[in-house]
Each structure stands twice: as C-alpha cells, then as structure tokens.
Structure 1
C-alpha cells in the first residue's frame, strides 16, 4: 500500500483524473502517477470499477485526482505556479499545456484542457517585478501586462530601458 501524504491537493475531474495525471507526469519533472484506485461500488458520477481517484505528484506536490463528475469546475482561484529558468523551458511547458487542448490567458497564465490554471513564470520576471527599484519593477510589470506567454528577452529589455 502506498503511503498517503499528510497534506495534498485534491483536484476534481469529470472522469479524466488519470488522463490528466499522466499528462502532468509526462510534462513536468519530479512528477508521477503513484496509484490508481477504482470505485468499489456505483456512485453518483460513475459505476463500480471506474477510476475513482488517482494519486499523483506534480513538480513534487502530492495530489489526489477525484473523478467527482461535472458538478464542480476549476477556476483561476487555484493555480500551479511553475518557476522557469529559461525561455526554452517557459516555451516547453506553455506549449505542452496549450497544445494539448488548453488555452492561453494573460500575464503568463494558461489553462489546461481540464480547467486547471497554470502560471508559467520565468524567475527573471519574478525578480524584476519584486525589485526594490520601483521604476525597474514598474517597467517589468507593465511589459508583462502586454503578454500572454512571458517573453524573457522583452522583460529584460524593459528592465534595462
């Protein structure tokens, strides 16, 4: 039997928890599916034998995917924030999410096909917008506001202008 984390994130899915968990495991480092559990009896969103819950890890964060049905939907009040080091890494994660049926949003946010929000945030952006130099932080912040996927070179150009 797998050990259960003392604290983990529970994400509600409409029948696709295993598919989502497998996508995250393929896409992000330090991510894996650790267990798949089937319903022991019929329940409001499924039948006995259906995948009920999936234990998985995303970027080192223990999660439980619950196939609870269509009643509850994800929204932007919860998101995974992924700190990236390079533009290539930023592009890789962003494109993996968006190209797999997701959608772009603003300021480094995107949503996967299951409705989970992701912030793909280069460390260069975080450092710039939290700088003690108020003018530098403002330039970086204003540049970010014009972007969907973050362009590190454009942030650095704004900071150095």
Structure 2
C-alpha cells in the first residue's frame, strides 16, 4: 500500500486531467471517481474527486474550485532513460496549451509542473571533476527540452 499520495487540487478540471495523464503514462488507470450529490457544494452529478494511477503511482484529484493554483514549487520528476522517452513525454505533457520551460521543465495545460529528466544528467552533474560537471551545467542551462547527446558531448569535451 502506498503511504504518500500526491493530492492535486483543480478548479473543475480533475476528470479531464486524470484522463489526459492516464492516456500518456503506461501502467495507468482510473481507480475511482466520486461525484457531487444533492448536498453539493458542486453541481449534482459533476466530478468531486478521483483516484488514478500513473505507472502504478497513485494520485488523488479534487475539483475544489478556484481557491488554489499550481506552482512550480512542486513538480513531478519523470525519469527518462532514452531521448525517445524524453521526446515522448515532452510532446505529450506540453500538448494542448502547455508551456515549455528551461532545463527540462514544462507546465502542462492544467498548470501542473513536470521535469522530464534523464538520470544520466544527475550522474554527470555530480561528477567529481568540477570542470566536467560545470560544462554539463552550462549546456543544460541553454536547453529547454533536455538532449542526452548534447549533455554527454559537453561532459566529454577536452
């Protein structure tokens, strides 16, 4: 049983977001949907909350109204082993009005922030040789979508 579950507060897009995310990630499914009844506070029959899984990770979504907005202070880190995987998630998550940002970050059409990152980046940035890791950092800072070949090239420069 998962002990910690991300809780996403939407204005009224929880169902749309859940369907969007489960269409992108493998091993994903909608677990349950709860709708507002007579007591409200939302219109009867509309989605109040939903539980869904992305790659087996459980998420909870709520249509809680406009009181809160998403911030880049919280983001989801998607580890991508290949450039093909980076390209896939980058395209899918930024589709339909999302915004691509610097250093592998993007904001999807719902305002949720994602980091699309190859684990090799962390390895290269953590290299004991500060000159190599600095070259990788400088290369990364010039990118929006991360490019594994360019990061490796920066690392291997003489």
TM beyond 0.5: yes
Q: CA RMSD in A?
A: 1.4
TM, length-normalised to structure 2 = 0.93
The SS at the match of 1:107 is helix
User: Is the counterpart of residue 14 in structure 1 residue 11 in structure 2?
Assistant: yes
Pairwise CA distance, 1:15: 1.0
- The offset of 1:6, in angstroms, is 4.0
Give the Cα separation in 1 of the matches to 2:120 and 2:22. 25
Q: CA deviation at 1:5?
A: 4.8
Rounded Cα–Cα distance in structure 2 between residues aligned with 1:96 and 1:111: 11
- Write out per-residue CA displacement over residues 64-116 of structure 1, whole angstroms, 9 at most, x where no aligned residue: 00001111100001100001011111000001111232110110000001010
Residue of structure 2 aligned with 1:50, choices 46, 50, 58:
46
Per the alignment, residue 126 of structure 2 pairs with 130
Contact 2:18/2:52 (<8 A) preserved: yes
C-alpha contact (below 8 Å) 2:95/2:108 kept by paired residues: no
Q: Measure the CA separation in 1 of the matches of 2:65 and 2:95.
A: 24
Q: Distance in 1 between matches of 2:111 and 2:49?
A: 18
Q: What aligned pairs does 1:69-148 form with structure 2 within 5 A after superposition?
A: 69-148=65-144
Could you list the runs of 5+ residues in structure 2 that have no partner in the other structure? none
Question: For residues 134 and 29 of structure 1, what CA distance do their matches in structure 2 show?
Answer: 37
Say whether residues 1:30 and 2:27 are aligned partners.
Answer: yes
The total of aligned residue pairs comes to: 156
Name the CA distance, whole Å, in 1 between partners of 2:74 and 2:34. 24
